[in-house]
Amino acid sequence: MATANKPANISTHYPAISLDYAIKVVEKARVLGKSISDTTIAGGGSTKSGAFTRKRAALGYFGLISGRGENLQITELAEKIISPLNENEKTSAIKESFLKPALYRKLYDTVEKEVSIEVSMLGNLVVREFGIQPSGKDDFMNTFISSGQFAQLINYIDGSKDRVEFRSIQDDLESSGGSDMEESTTQNGGFRVSTSGMIDLEISGIRLFIPKNEKTQDAIAAGELKELRNKIIEFSKKYLSEQSS
């Protein structure tokens, strides 16, 4: 587990509901228009309860709404999830939404990818380094992992709920530098899509170029390359790390 960069000044505010439930709330409210209100979100319930306040806050943490009170707006990110132009746009937007809460993003960035970790150890980490109170640890972990599963960025391992694995996602692609392939790529669902018609994947220093079409993009976003990815990581650790040492 990679924890070399200890988090600092991270707010302990985080979504109190899972991402999939938050999306359902916004999807239901969207029927009445892009401009919504607390009353719309409440769906006939009280807007004064603590449960409602936490639900509305979660929608903001996930980047699904903006504004305050009776002047709320469904965000463009939410629109990509609710009314996507294609399945890949939806998959990519859900991942982006999961990583919107500052605490979620920092925790995701801290933990080593493609390596299984005990859920209990992950819980200890959020208490010791992220400011989560021990009494709220289980609720946080359940919501975080459930949301990560929905975003296809966290998986339970070995058919149990004792261990999880964080999946990699490529963020913040640079617009220049590197090879000709890199100079003409765009982000699409966590991987590079070249304007020359190839998907550019980089795994542990090894690059793969895969013909771009709707089937290959959806398959990669759905995790079809997981087994190959693990083999490449093993190969890299066994041979490339020795070469560089």
Higher pLDDT among residues 198 and 106, named by residue = 106
Q: Distance (Å, rounded) from C-alpha 189 to C-alpha 93? A: 8
Q: Distance (Å, rounded) from C-alpha 163 to C-alpha 156? A: 6
Q: Distance (Å, rounded) from C-alpha 131 to C-alpha 160? A: 27
Higher pLDDT among residues 37 and 174, named by residue = 37
Residue 187: closest CA among 105, 80, 111, 89? 89
Q: Residues 142-175: pLDDT tens digits?
A: 999 999 999 999 999 877 789 999 998 753 333 2
In this predicted structure, what is the pLDDT of residue 238? 79
Q: Distance (Å, rounded) from C-alpha 59 to C-alpha 62? A: 5
Q: Mean pLDDT over all residues of the chain? A: 79
Q: Distance (Å, rounded) from C-alpha 83 to C-alpha 235? A: 40
Q: Distance (Å, rounded) from C-alpha 43 to C-alpha 21? A: 14
Tokens 């771009």 locate to 212
Domain boundaries, the chain: 1-169, 180-244
Global pTM reads 0.65
With cut-offs at 50, 70 and 90, classify the pLDDT of residue 219.
Answer: confident
Q: Are 142 and 14 in contact (CB under 8 A)?
A: no
Work out whether the CA dihedral 101, 103, 104, 110 comes out positive or negative.
positive
In this predicted structure, what is the pLDDT of residue 230? 79
In this predicted structure, what is the pLDDT of residue 194? 45
In this predicted structure, what is the pLDDT of residue 11? 46
Q: Is the pLDDT of residue 44 over 50?
A: yes
Q: Are 40 and 74 in contact (CB under 8 A)?
A: no
Distance, CA of 122 to chain centre:
17
What is the arithmetic mean of pLDDT over 174-198?
A: 42
What is the arithmetic mean of pLDDT over 73-89?
A: 93
Higher pLDDT among residues 104 and 190, named by residue = 104
Q: Residues 20-30: pLDDT tens digits?
A: 999 999 998 88
Query: Got the DSSP string for 24-36?
Result: HHHHHHHTT-SEE
Higher pLDDT among residues 13 and 117, named by residue = 117
Q: Distance (Å, rounded) from C-alpha 104 to C-alpha 136? A: 15
